[in-house]
Amino acid sequence: MFTRALGTATTGFEGQFRFLADAQGLGTSTGRHPSADLLPVFNASYRALREHVTGLGYTQFIARGTTTALPTTAVETGETYATIDVGASGTPGTVPTTMQIKRVDVKFDGRWRELPEVTLLQLRDLADSATAGRPRGWCWLNAGSITGTTAFVKGTIAVSPVPSGGSYALWTMTEEPDKVNTSDVWLYHTESWAQWHMYHAMLQICAVRDKDTAAKAAAISRMLDPEVPGTPAYNIQRFAPTASGPRTWTRSASYRGV
């Protein structure tokens, strides 16, 4: 893992971005691309990187929550599931809120087990007499809410059937605070992650914002294409974690479906 500072128009991430995007000398308050205008794009692209690699199976941005007692009361009388609050209440943008739930673990009889995610349509199908009191799956019910600029309200997940006891722990990816100061740093696993971040932001500026030449847009898009060997996107996908052991299998990197 390594870090790279936001930097200025000539240093750090921004300095390299301006050099590669041919945006040098445009960073003044009267220029086409002031630093203040680029910063939201850099922050958004980094959040996209975190979501992208997490979706591929990397766990560097995942954190385990505390072990907590499972709810033992149905959401209402006669229902087959119980609910768990997720995220944090507070002022939007000032507290970490849950963006993705990567895994839900439950502990029964002294053993930890992963609880599979199901769809809302399957939730009640999990409740049967054979597994009464022992949850078999979970699903999102809502992601919380925000009214204007007032406090964020926690989201909710459901577990079914209603547990009779036990504990749970959530593995989540939380919100990434925006970088503001030139000395603030982003965290990367490899240089390919940093380059993916760079080119993803560049595509928004050069292709979407400036509508540069088709050749330039294609060259940038190529760097984000996991099918092109040697590109940042290719390296990230090729070296993503895979299961191992005698009862697992993976296809070769060159496998193509018919």
Q: What is the mean pLDDT of residues 44-63?
A: 93
Q: Is pTM beyond 0.75 here?
A: yes
- Domain boundary pick from 132, 155, 174: 174
- Three-class secondary structure of residue 239 per DSSP: coil
Find the mean pLDDT for residues 213-234. Answer: 92
Is residue 4 a contact partner of residue 201, using CB atoms and an 8 Å limit? no
- Asked if residue 239 lies in contact with residue 191, where contact means CB atoms within 8 angstroms, the answer is no
Residue 28, pLDDT > 80, answer no
118 part of a folded domain: yes
Residue 250 lies in a domain: no
Question: pLDDT at position 91, please?
Answer: 54
For residues 250 and 209, the model is more confident at 209
Question: CA geometry: angle at 119 spanning 114 and 122, to 5°?
Answer: 95
Give yes or no: residues 165 and 78 share one domain. Answer: yes
Instruction: Give the mean model confidence (pLDDT) for residues 77-99.
Output: 72
Tell me, yes or no, whether 155 and 201 share the same domain.
no
> 125 and 111: one domain?
yes
135 shares a domain with 86: yes
Q: Which two tokens stand for residue 153?
A: 């309200």
Q: What is the pLDDT of residue 252?
A: 53
pLDDT on residue 125: 87
Indicate if 117 and 44 belong to the same structural domain: no
Query: Are residue 56 and residue 159 in the same domain, yes or no?
Result: no
The answer to the question of residue 13 being in a domain is: yes
Mean pLDDT of all residues in 115-142:
85
Average pLDDT, the chain: 85
Which domain range does residue 227 map to?
A: 2-60+179-238
Is residue 254 a part of any domain in this protein?
A: no
User: Averaged over 17-43, what is the pLDDT?
Assistant: 85
Q: What is the pLDDT of residue 256?
A: 53
Residue 216 CB-density burial (10 A; 0-12 exposed, 13-18 middle, 19+ buried): middle
Q: What's residue 258's pLDDT?
A: 43
Helix (H, G, I), strand (E, B) or coil at 173: strand
Q: What type of residue sits at position 145?
A: S
Kindly state whether residue 258 falls inside one of the protein's structural domains.
no
Rounded-to-integer distance, Cα 131 and Cα 136, Å: 8
Strand-pairing partners, residue 63, are 172
Q: Are 81 and 170 in a shared domain?
A: yes
Helix (H, G, I), strand (E, B) or coil at 159: strand
Is 203 part of a structural domain of the chain? Answer: yes
- Model confidence at 208, in pLDDT bands (50, 70, 90)? confident
The verdict on 54 and 70 lying in the same domain is: no
Are 82 and 25 contained in the same domain? no
Residue 249 pLDDT > 60? no
Between 82-96, 204-218, 220-234, the lowest mean confidence (pLDDT) is in 82-96
Number of domains in the chain: 2
Q: Are residues 170 and 158 in the same domain?
A: yes
CA 159 to CA 82: how far, in whole Å?
A: 5
What is the spatial distance between Cα 99 and Cα 135, in angstroms, rounded to a whole number?
23
- Mean pLDDT across the stretch 174-198? 93
* % of the chain surpassing 90 pLDDT: 56
| Same-domain status, 44 and 118 | no
Residues 73 and 13 in one domain: no
- On whether the CB atoms of residues 50 and 43 are closer than 8 A, the answer is no
d(CA 89, CA 226): 37
Nearest to 49 by CA among 252, 165, 198, 221: 198
- List Cβ neighbours of 181 (8 Å cut-off, separation of 6 or more): 6
Q: Which residues pair with 173 in a beta bridge?
A: 100
